[in-house]
Structure formats: C-alpha cells, structure tokens
Amino acid sequence: MFQVRLWHGIRQPYTTFTQLHESEDVTGFFGRVIILAVFSAFLSGLGIYMGLDTEMFTTLIGKVSDDRIETMKLIFAIGSIGNGIAAPMLSMYIASLLIWLILRGKVEFYKIITIELYVMFLDIIEKVLFLIFRLLTGANAYSSPFGLGVIAQLASNHPFFIHFMNSITIFFAWSAVIQIIALRICSSLSSRIVSVIVLAVHLFINLISSLIFFMIQQ
C-alpha cells in the first residue's frame, strides 16, 4: 500500500514513485487533496483581503455607492476563493484524464492522479511564495520572479500571451520533471515519449486557461 507523502515525493521522486508502481492501493490521497484545496482557497482569500488584484474597485469610487462597491468586493472575494478551490482540483483531474487516455491504460488512473497530486502540491508552494513576493514588492499578478510573465510584458501587451507565458515557471519545470520520472517508472515508456506527453498535456491546459482568461477580460 502506497502512503502519500508530499514532501518526500518531491525530494525523492525515484524512491517514491517506485513504491507507487509496486503498490496496488493508495492511502492519504483524499485527505491531502482536501487540505491542499482548502489552503489554496485560504491563499486566494488572503490575497484579496490584503488588497491584491482589487485595483479595479478604486476606479469606481465616487461613481457608485460605497455599499455597492463593498458588495462587488464581496462577490469578487467569493469568486476568488471558489476558484482557489476548484481550479487546482479541476486541473489535476483533467491532466490525469488526458494522460490516462493517451497512455491507453498502461498506467492505472489512480496512480496517475496520485502523481498529479504532487503537481498540485508544487503549485501551492509556488502560490505561497508568489503571494509573499507580491505583498513585499507590490508586483502585479503577471510579474512572478519564477516565470516568464515579466519578459512577456516587455515583449507584448496582449493579455492572452502574457497570461500563458506567466504560467511557464520554475515550478512548472519542476513538476514536469517529477511527472516524467513518475510516469517513466510506472509505464516503462521511454523518457522521450513521456516528456512529450507531459509537456503537451500541461501546455494544452495552460493554453485553455489563458484563453478562458482572455475571453473573460473581453
């Protein structure tokens, strides 16, 4: 039986995923998912509470009533918290499903989604560090020191391009390496094939996310 240990998994992936490959059951998965989802929601709410990404409401001062502004802030906060819960879980499930379909059952679905849980964990770590960075520096949502968003802003002002490039980070690369190691062990496929699958799936998800963001902004 495989016990989910998140810190151990990202520090010792070969040992961790060899154990997963040899196991027929996983324990601790749902508990970790709930903890990470709740913590992600907390980070989203904390960011709003500290005034991040709420600049749009300052332009409404004097144009609409204070009560209406506060109501809009509340709705925005609820939406951000809901997104903090749903987005990482949905991304984890969709990535797992796509990889499982591409591999055509070579790796059991429960093993793939367990691997993706470690990706979710790395995303939360990145979210914590970027939140601290923004609170200390006042940087906008696309100026992560871990990604290509800053360079993208220098090259273009198109929101779709900036959002997509901002999703390409050190942690994205780290999670890709973790997945490649894990799927290589669990599937016995070559590293090249696994690398193409992992990068294609997650870049596709990032593209869709950026497209949705762009459509909302219009």
pLDDT in tens, 96-119: 999 999 998 899 999 999 999 999
- Which residues have a Cβ under 8 Å from the Cβ of 195 and sit 6 or more positions away? 176, 180
How big is the CA angle at 58 (ends 54 and 60), to the nearest 5 degrees? 115
Assigned domain for 1 exists: no
| 89 within a domain of the structure (yes/no) | yes
Of 181, 126, 172, 174, give the one whose Cα is nearest residue 16: 181
Q: Does pTM top 0.85 for this prediction?
A: yes
Residue 65 lies in a domain: yes
User: What average pLDDT score do residues 25-52 get?
Assistant: 92
Q: Is residue 15 part of a domain?
A: no
Count of domains observed in the chain? 1
9: in domain? no
Contacts of 135 (CB under 8 A, 6+ apart): 50, 52
Residue 198 belongs to some domain of the structure = yes
Rounded to whole angstroms, how far apart are CA atoms 154 and 162? 9
pLDDT in tens, 49-99: 888 877 776 666 666 676 777 788 788 889 889 999 999 999 999 999 999
In a domain, 3, yes or no: no
Does 10 map to a domain? no
Indicate if the pLDDT at residue 218 is higher than 80: no
Q: Give the per-residue pLDDT at 28.
A: 93
Can you give the residue range of the structural domain that contains 52?
Answer: 20-217
Residues 130-174: pLDDT tens digits? 999 999 998 888 888 999 988 999 888 888 899 899 999 999 999
